[in-house]
Chains A and B, each alone.
Chain A
Amino acid sequence: AQSVTQLGSHVSVSEGALVLLRCNYSSSVPPYLFWYVQYPNQGLQLLLKYTTGATLVKGINGFEAEFKKSETSFHLTKPSAHMSDAAEYFCAVRTNFGNEKLTFGTGTRLTIIP
């Protein structure tokens, strides 16, 4: 079985400050890991993904995430927050054993303080 835990359902940061959104996963086999962003009244958009290879993954809009197997973590970061980053962020895990179960965390709502 696989699962995802996102610490902090709400995170607030000042404009220009570091953004850190936490994600820990549980999987008995090597996982594929994803971060999605959801803007108000919209569907989800893929930010970045980890499959194999380099553990530091760069995504769109200046976001990046680091896969740490020893910590079972895949935290999302951005060096300098922008007002347009205000949204809800979801971490998700899928195993690479051919099943199609993509399991999401409960989400983190990011607020940017001017």
Chain B
Amino acid sequence: EAQVTQNPRYLITVTGKKLTVTCSQNMNHEYMSWYRQDPGLGLRQIYYSMNVEVTDKGDVPEGYKVSRKEKRNFPLILESPSPNQTSLYFCASRLTGGQTGYTFGSGTRLTVV
């Protein structure tokens, strides 16, 4: 089944403890992106990648890192999480070509205490 898989689905952590949220897609998509969803703010783009080793900042990149060493994987790294990073995170991927829409993962609900 064609899909974007995120892990974990739920995570509670403490301030300052490094964590990684994994994202993998099996559709050979070039583009991948991370979003966070907060009530009243919609979805905001954190980082995106247009291909292996090509990444760029979205609208809210502070406090996050990404890497794209393989086409299928696009992990999101929080080096020192803070409570304001408590949110619902989505990974998404799409084929190249402006007409294509993103396929989203099921989300990761992160709580930082």
Q: How far is the CA of A106 from the CA of B42 in the complex (A)?
A: 4
A103 touches B45 (CB 8 A): yes
How far is A9 from B40 in the complex, measured between Cα atoms in Å? 8
The dominant DSSP class at the A interface is strand
- In angstroms, Cα B33 to Cα A24, docked, is 24
Q: Which residue of B lies closest to A35 (CB)?
A: B101
> B56 on the interface (CB 8 Å rule)?
yes
Closest CB of chain A to B14's CB: distance in Å? 25
CB-based contact B90/A44 at 8 Å: yes
Chain A residues near B103: list those with CB within 8 A: 46
**Chain B positions 64 through 107: 1 when the CB is less than 8 Å from some CB of chain A, otherwise 0:** 00000000000000000000000000101000001101111111
Kindly list chain A residues whose C-beta atoms are within 8 Å of the C-beta of B42: 90, 104-107
Give the distance in Å from the alpha carbon of A36 to the alpha carbon of B43 in the complex: 11
What mask results when residues 72 to 114 of chain A are scored 1 for a CB within 8 Å of chain B, else 0? Answer: 0000000000000000001010101000111111110000000
Which of A9, A32, A43, A51 contacts B90, CB < 8 Å? A43
Q: Are the C-beta atoms of B43 and A90 separated by less than 8 Å?
A: yes
Name the distance in Å between A96's Cβ and chain B's nearest Cβ: 5
Q: B92 contacts which chain A residues (CB < 8 A)?
A: 44
Residues of A within 8 A of B105 (CB): 43
Known: A100-B33, A101-B59. A51 touches B99 (CB 8 A): yes
Whether A46 and B102, one on each chain, are in contact in the complex, defined by CB atoms closer than 8 angstroms, is yes
Q: Identify which of A36, A42, A43 gathers the most chain B CB atoms within 10 Å of its CB.
A: A43
Interface residues of A in 4-39 (CB under 8 A from B): 9, 32, 34, 36
* A:35-60 near B, CB below 8 Å: 36, 42-46, 49, 51-52
The chain A residues found within 8 Å of chain B, CB to CB, are: 9, 32, 34, 36, 42-46, 49, 51-52, 90, 92, 94, 96, 100-107
